Amino acid sequence: MEAQPSGKRWRGHLRNQLYGTAWRVHHVLRPTRPFRRGAERALKLDLTELTLSFADLPSAFDGYRILHLTDLHLDNIDDTAVETAARVAGIECDLCVITGDIRDNIHAPLHPLIERLEHVVSSVCALDGVLGVLGNHDGAAMVAPMERIGIHVLLNETLTLSRDTDDLHVTGLDDVHRFHTEEAYAALDAAPEGFCIALVHSPEVAGHAAERHRLYLTGHTHGGQICLPGQRSFTSGLKRHRDLGRGIWRQGRMVGYTSRGIGACIIPFRSYCPGEVVLVTLRRATDRVSVNGSDADLG
């Protein structure tokens, strides 16, 4: 696992300046009505339901349901954990996956953050438990407390889930932005033969994952978070694969979903871009994708 951020020093300095400016703007605008409404909107979470059919899905996993949570930023807007717990309560699934950015402020104390995360996780009903990967707002110090509350954190490694005589492999990467190392690529390359799912905080390595994986669940972009009408975003936050910044997509034989995420990053505000939790149902059938009951043509 990486301990130090990658990238040049000036980039870190620029990032800190940007965070500082965003916080100052936020404190000036916070009492205003549009800003308060934006914060309230940020806590209203959609449930997006995907049905993904794969001809090569092992038959024991036909009907397998995966609850995907990402970008919770639990220390940004106070009630995010409470609202998320309420949204996921009652959703029955086989597996829950959390694809990073549990934290917002990279210097925030861990104890209250983990308490909030535990509140969310205790509302999840998942037969095979909860898997997690770290995002660019998280850090190595979070792994042990996350594991203590029952989240199996995958750090550039693959976990195999078995049912009857069938296997489903899940590869989870450490953050590929702030803490990127070549170990992330090595973990994707080392995924075993068979049906593999990649959990990665960001779509950045989708091209590489498509060589061995059939499904890629990700976040990081927040769908733009602060958008113009029609969910038109100002930036993707991606260096590569900028066309994969939101929703369902395909790379080769691999299907991916970039969630808009749950919380808000730095500025506690969402505009024309509601947060979401995603429920994926896997089917063994001719390759096909449906989003909230409507077929999606991915070309």
Residue 119 Cβ, how far from Fe ion at the closest point, in Å? 19
DSSP conformational letter for 257? E
- Residue matched to tokens 């975003």: 233
Picking from 29, 58, 38, 50, the residue whose alpha carbon sits closest to that of residue 93 is 50
Of 136 and 171, the one with the shorter C-beta distance to Fe ion is: 136
Of 242 and 253, the one with the shorter C-beta distance to Fe ion is: 242
Please give the Cα distance from 183 to 1 (Å, whole number).
9
Residue 220 Cβ, how far from Fe ion at the closest point, in Å? 6
Of 42 and 52, the one with the shorter C-beta distance to Fe ion is: 42
Residue 267 Cβ, how far from Fe ion at the closest point, in Å? 12
Please give the Cα distance from 174 to 172 (Å, whole number).
7
Residue 281 Cβ, how far from Fe ion at the closest point, in Å? 25
Length, in residues, of the chain: 299
Residue 277 Cβ, how far from Fe ion at the closest point, in Å? 14
Of 46 and 56, the one with the shorter C-beta distance to Fe ion is: 46
Helix residue ranges per DSSP H, 139-283: 143-148, 183-189, 206-209
Of 265 and 280, the one with the shorter C-beta distance to Fe ion is: 265
Of 58 and 261, the one with the shorter C-beta distance to Fe ion is: 261
Residue 87 Cβ, how far from Fe ion at the closest point, in Å? 17
Picking from 188, 299, 294, 204, the residue whose alpha carbon sits closest to that of residue 253 is 299
Please give the Cα distance from 47 to 25 (Å, whole number).
31
Q: Environment class of residue 79 by beta-carbon count within 10 Å: exposed (0-12), middle (13-18) or buried (19+)?
A: middle
Of 218 and 251, the one with the shorter C-beta distance to Fe ion is: 218
The crossing angle, in degrees rounded to 10, of helices 110-121 and 80-88 is 20
Residue 209 Cβ, how far from Fe ion at the closest point, in Å? 19
Binding stretches for Fe ion (CB under 5 A): 71, 101, 265
Beta bridge partners of 38: none
Please give the Cα distance from 270 to 44 (Å, whole number).
10
